[in-house]
């Protein structure tokens, strides 16, 4: 079953809102998709299911999920208290020198310019998890300032070849984490002594505390 791409952000949001409160087993049934018993071997199952349901087109290409709308969709697993259970993957971190020269050009910034967050409630059987109320979001001035500061610091460390600094402890909101099939997978970088070196590929992730603050800001009872 294929769903046509939404013609506007309003339509996209309306579609997402119509799914809120449903469980994933229901949605999978509507789409003719089998529900796995757990996500160990289907880590992207929820994300792919929601993309299908909302009419995303980009697939695994390096584009927003809704290219014509400039919107990226991300599911966000949350616990009973409404706090994100995991960090959120944003995109691959370029370690090879093809780094954007400014935050304005950064891939991370474009990815996060407009995001449709879809909270997924529960941590039990995938089919029993509930689709939450969606949030069509753009970073506030303060949020963008934090992201920019983190990105600048992390990018600087990459640019200087300080490979030992490419660890998850850095960054208030944005962090670098391994992003590969396994730890033996390597990519080439030039280290701080100008020598070629091999390191595990990294990706940019949003800390759960950051995505949690986004949800809290928009859904907290005033």
Partner DNA sequence: GTGTGATCATCT
Partner DNA sequence: AGATGATCACAC
In our burial notation (b when 16+ CB lie closer than 10 A, e otherwise), range 148-179 reads bebbeebbebbeebebebbeeeebebbbbeeb
CB of 72 to DNA, least distance (A): 6
Site string for DNA, 194-213 (x = CB under 7 A): ------xx-x---xxx----
Q: How far is the CB of 14 from DNA (least distance, A)?
A: 19
184 near DNA (CB under 7 A): yes
Give whichever of 51 and 148 is closer to DNA, judged by the CB atom: 51
127 in contact with DNA (CB under 7 A): no
Smallest gap from residue 169 Cβ to DNA (A) = 4
**DSSP codes joined into one string, 47-83:** HHHHHHHHT---TTSSS-SBTTTTBEEEEEEE-TTS-
> What's the sign of the alpha-carbon dihedral 91, 210, 52, 45?
positive
| Chosen residue from 168, 172, 192, 217 binding DNA by CB under 7 A | 168
For residue 167, give both structure tokens.
Answer: 């660890």
Other Cβ atoms within 10 Å of 47 Cβ, number: 17
Tokens of 77: 């697993």
Binding site for DNA (CB under 7 A): 38-44, 46-48, 50-51, 58-62, 65, 72-75, 77, 86-89, 91-92, 94, 120, 167-169, 175, 177-185, 187, 200-201, 203, 207-209
């Amino acid at each position: 079953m294929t769903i046509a791409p939404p013609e506007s952000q309003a339509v996209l949001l309306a579609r997402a809102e119509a799914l809120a409160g449903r469980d994933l087993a229901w949605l999978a049934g509507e789409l003719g998709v089998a529900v796995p018993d757990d996500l160990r071997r289907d880590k992207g199952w929820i994300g792919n299911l929601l993309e299908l349901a909302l009419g995303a087109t980009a697939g695994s290409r390096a584009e927003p999920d809704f290219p014509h709308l400039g919107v990226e969709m991300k599911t966000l697993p949350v616990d009973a208290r409404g706090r994100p259970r995991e960090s959120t993957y944003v995109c691959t971190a370029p370690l090879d020198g093809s780094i954007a020269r400014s935050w304005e050009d950064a891939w991370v910034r474009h990815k996060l310019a407009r995001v449709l967050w879809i909270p997924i409630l529960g941590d039990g059987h995938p089919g029993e998890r509930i689709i939450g109320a969606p949030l069509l979001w753009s970073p506030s001035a303060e949020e963008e300032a934090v992201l920019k500061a983190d990105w600048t610091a992390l990018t600087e460390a990459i640019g200087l070849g300080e490979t030992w600094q490419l660890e998850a402890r850095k960054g208030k909101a944005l962090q670098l984490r391994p992003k590969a099939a396994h730890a033996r997978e390597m990519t080439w970088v030039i280290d701080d002594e100008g020598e070629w070196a091999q390191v595990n590929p990294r990706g940019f992730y949003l800390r759960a505390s950051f995505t949690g603050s986004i949800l809290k800001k928009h859904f907290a009872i005033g």
